Chains A and B, each alone.
Chain A
Amino acid sequence: MNQQIISAAAQGAAESANPLVPNLWEMGVVLAGFAVLYFIVVKFVVPMFEKTFAERAEAIEGGIAKAEKAQAEASAALEEYKQQLHDARAEANRIREEARAEGAQILADLKSKAAAESARITEQAHAQIESERQAAVVSLRSEVGTLATTLAERIVGETLSDDERAARVVDRFLADLETQSAGAAK
């Protein structure tokens, strides 16, 4: 039995093709097939995939760049608004300060003006009083003269006979006049 197996194996070995000896037609088919595949891959598959990859990378990077730009713009705008707000506050402060200063200035002006006015009015009043007093003295003097003359006429016209009485009237008149003029002179 063993012999049978061995002989069968030997027979098989004799009939077996050497597995390391290639079939030329198969080699040709593999070479041609691989060449066709390589051509298709070089011509179509790799360029298409690479293009897709590049486009995708660009889309992603472009999106990131766009987002970054928007972010930068937004922060710039925020900065600008803050700056504007700050400026506006400073401006308002400045205006308020100015108004306050101006108000104080106006008040001081008005005060000094009022003081000057009151001084002027006082001065004028004094002058007026003085002049009126002068006028009064002058008119009084002339009036006193007239009165004296009138009195003298009356005395002279009516009572020349009564010397004593006339003398008393004249004395009294002169005394009155003196006191009057002294009071006026004061």
Chain B
Amino acid sequence: MIALALPAQDSGTFTPPGIDQLHLPAILPWGASEGFSKQMLLVILSVVIIATFFVLAARKRQLVPGKLQFAGEMAYGFVRNSIAKDIIGGRDFMKYVPLLFSLFFFILVNNIYGAIPLIQLPSFSHVGGAYVLAVLVYVTWIGIGIKKNGLRYFKLATVPSGVPVYILPIVIPIEIISNFLVRPVTHSLRLFATMLAGHLIVMIAGSGIEFLVMQENFLLKGASVLVLAGAIAMYMLEALIMVLQAYVFTLLTAIYIEGALHADSH
């Protein structure tokens, strides 16, 4: 877009990088249409990183924790207490701690990749992973709702109590759409879109800087500094959003589970 505002000079037009540049060529040929991509490698690496860190941190089980154990306990305690316990509540939150914990750190590490130089590819900027996790959560909370309330759950989830009968024909379709159709879509796309957008911004800024530096015009060369400053600010913002999105995704999961568990009191 920057290109439209700039007069093209010697090196011609500026073509901003698009979605295609997010999909790097496969690392290994796969035999199928697509090969083994960088994104897949990073996802597998994230599992190794998370599992190794937390197993090492939890293994010693000292009453007075060392540094590693303390860090692990802080991270675990954050998901356990600030998300699971606070949202789902006192008695039966422990059952869902593993799911929330896995989700949070799986998404967190895969997002943070985007902020690490050379890796710089948030796994969820490819929509597939976000779909998978959102569907997992979708199936989980509907399963919990049915297990807890039986088939009556669908009535509880779609017919709000205390609403006048003549409004119900409007409210019920809205509830069905918002709870059962839109929810998984927003849940996955929120994560995917923020990661994709963040990644695109960094890429566009990067190639924009490169393009400007190549220009003969001194002023245009200088303008690259402004783009660089903006890119750094966006990079910081992205790092924040990466953490925030992991938190939001997990928090929403906890809220959905809580809603399914206590459908009769909503």
Contact surface of A with B, Cβ cutoff 8 Å: 1, 4-5, 8, 12-13, 15-17, 19-27, 29-31, 33-34, 36-38, 40-42, 44-46, 48-53, 55-56, 59
Of the candidates B30, B99, B128, B136, which one forms a contact with A22 in the assembled complex, judged by CB atoms under 8 Å apart? B128
- The answer to whether residues A46 and B101 also contact, given A5-B4, A25-B40 and a CB cut-off of 8 A, is yes
Shortest C-beta distance, A87 to chain B (Å), equals 46
Q: How large is the interface on B (under 10, 10 to 19, 20 to 34, 35 or more residues)?
A: 35 or more
Cβ B19 vs Cβ A44 within 8 A: no
Q: Tell whether B27 is near chain A: CB-to-CB under 8 Å.
A: no
Task: For A50, give the chain B residue with the smallest CB separation.
Answer: B94
Shortest Cβ gap from B139 to chain A (Å): 12
Q: Report the stretch among B45-53, B85-93, B158-166, B167-175 that lies at the interface.
A: B45-53
Please count the residue pairs between chain A and chain B whose beta carbons lie under 8 angstroms apart in the complex: 132
Q: Can you spell out 6 A-B residue pairs with CB atoms less than 8 angstroms apart?
A: A25-B30, A27-B129, A34-B47, A40-B54, A45-B54, A48-B61
Inter-subunit contact B51/A37 (CB<8 Å)? yes
A19 to B36, CA, bound (A): 18
3 tightest Cβ-Cβ pairs between the two chains A and B: A22-B128, A48-B58, A30-B129
Contacts of B80 in A (CB 8 A): 49
Contact between B19 and A17, CB atoms less than 8 A apart:
yes
A12 neighbours in B (Cβ, 8 Å): 15, 18, 20
One digit per residue, 1 when the CB lies within 8 angstroms of any chain A CB and 0 when it does not, for chain B 15-52 equals: 10011101100000010101011011001101100110
- Is A56 touching B55 in the complex (CB atoms < 8 A)? no
- Specify which chain B residues have a CB less than 8 angstroms from the CB of A48 in the assembled complex: 55, 58-59, 61
From the candidates B4, B58, B106, B136, name the one contacting A44 in the complex (CB within 8 A). B58
B234 shortest CB reach to chain A, Å: 19
A27 contacts B101, C-beta separation under 8 Å: no
Contact partner of A29 (CB less than 8 A), chosen from B15, B40, B192, is: B40
Residues of B in contact with A (beta carbons under 8 Å apart): 3-4, 8, 13, 15, 18-20, 22-23, 30, 32, 34, 36-37, 39-40, 43-44, 46-47, 50-51, 54-55, 58-59, 61-63, 65, 69, 72-73, 76, 80, 94, 97-99, 101-102, 105-106, 123, 126-129, 131-133, 136, 189, 192, 196
Task: Give the contacting residue for A49; candidates B4, B58, B132; CB below 8 A.
Answer: B58
- Residues in B neighbouring A34, C-beta threshold 8 A: 47, 102, 106, 132-133, 136
- Are the CB atoms of A16 and B51 closer together than 8 Å? no
The answer to whether A21 and B127 have CB atoms under 8 Å apart is: yes
> How far, in angstroms, from A8 to B147 measured CA to CA in the complex?
54
Does the CB pair A23–B47 fall under 8 Å?
no
Asked if A33 meets B98 with Cβ closer than 8 Å, knowing A19-B127, A25-B34, the reply is no
Measured in the bound complex, the distance between the Cα atoms of B54 and A44 in whole Å is 9
CB distance from A116 to the nearest CB of B (A): 88
Q: Contacts A21-B127, A36-B47, A40-B51 given: A55-B20 contact, CB under 8 Å?
A: no
Q: Are B13 and A4 neighbours in the complex by a CB distance under 8 Å? A: yes
The answer on a CB contact under 8 Å between B37 and A45 is no
CB distance from B102 to the nearest CB of A (A): 5
Judging by beta carbons under 8 Å apart, are A20 and B127 in contact? Answer: yes
Contact of A26 among B8, B65, B126 (CB under 8 A): B126
Within the complex, the shortest CB–CB distance from A2 to chain B, in Å, comes to 8
Q: Distance (Å) between the CB of B236 and the closest chain A CB?
A: 24
Residue of B nearest to A59 (CB): B63
Is there contact, CB below 8 Å, between B128 and A26?
A: yes
On whether A46 and B47 interact (CB within 8 A), knowing A30-B129, A52-B61, A59-B63, the answer reads no
Contact across chains for B47 and A45 when beta carbons are under 8 A apart:
no
Cβ contact within 8 Å between B128 and A24: yes
- What CA separation (Å) do A183 and B55 show in the bound complex? 139
Excluding A12-B18, A36-B47, A59-B63, 7 further A-B contacts by CB distance (< 8 Å) are: A8-B15, A22-B127, A22-B128, A29-B39, A30-B132, A31-B136, A49-B80
Which A residues are CB-close (under 8 A) to B19? 16-17, 19
Does B15 lie within 8 Å of A17, measured CB to CB?
no
CA gap between A40 and B51 in the complex, in Å: 7
Which residue of the partner chain, among A16, A31, A36, A40, contacts B18 with CB atoms under 8 Å? A16
